[in-house]
């Protein structure tokens, strides 16, 4: 794994809760899920062209690398992943 590789399991939970963030709410198809999410495959239908906010590594580099170390940032995000999986 390269230094900048987020351990995403492609569970789809963040794509199903875009309404929870002001930065992603514009993607909401009406039920909290992103309009580009495929409910069957649990994958992004515009993956190669997804917005910067969905590109964990790129978003970190551009906006957050001066605030957090990568490892700490990953840890924080994984905690959010768990909360989303728990339905919190």
State the residues that interact with ligand SF4 by CB under 6 A.
15, 18, 27, 34, 36-37, 44, 46, 50-51, 54
In whole angstroms, the minimum distance from the beta carbon of 18 to ligand SF4 comes to: 5
Decide if 45 contacts 38 (C-beta within 8 A). Answer: yes
- Residue 12: C-alpha distances to residues 51, 68, 69 (Å): 16, 25, 25
The whole-angstrom separation of Cα 81 and Cα 11 is 9
Q: Which is nearer to ligand SF4, 29 or 75 (CB)?
A: 29
Two tokens, residue 87 = 């339905």
In whole angstroms, the minimum distance from the beta carbon of 77 to ligand SF4 comes to: 14
In whole angstroms, the minimum distance from the beta carbon of 78 to ligand SF4 comes to: 17
């Amino acid at each position: 794994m390269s230094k900048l590789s987020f351990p995403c399991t492609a569970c789809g939970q963040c794509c199903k809760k875009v309404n929870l963030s002001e930065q992603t709410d514009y993607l909401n198809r009406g039920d909290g899920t992103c309009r580009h999410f495929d409910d069957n495959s649990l994958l992004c239908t515009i993956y190669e062209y997804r917005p910067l906010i969905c590109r964990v590594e790129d978003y970190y580099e551009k906006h957050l690398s001066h605030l957090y170390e990568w490892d700490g940032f990953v840890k924080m995000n994984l905690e959010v992943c768990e909360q989303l999986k728990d339905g919190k």
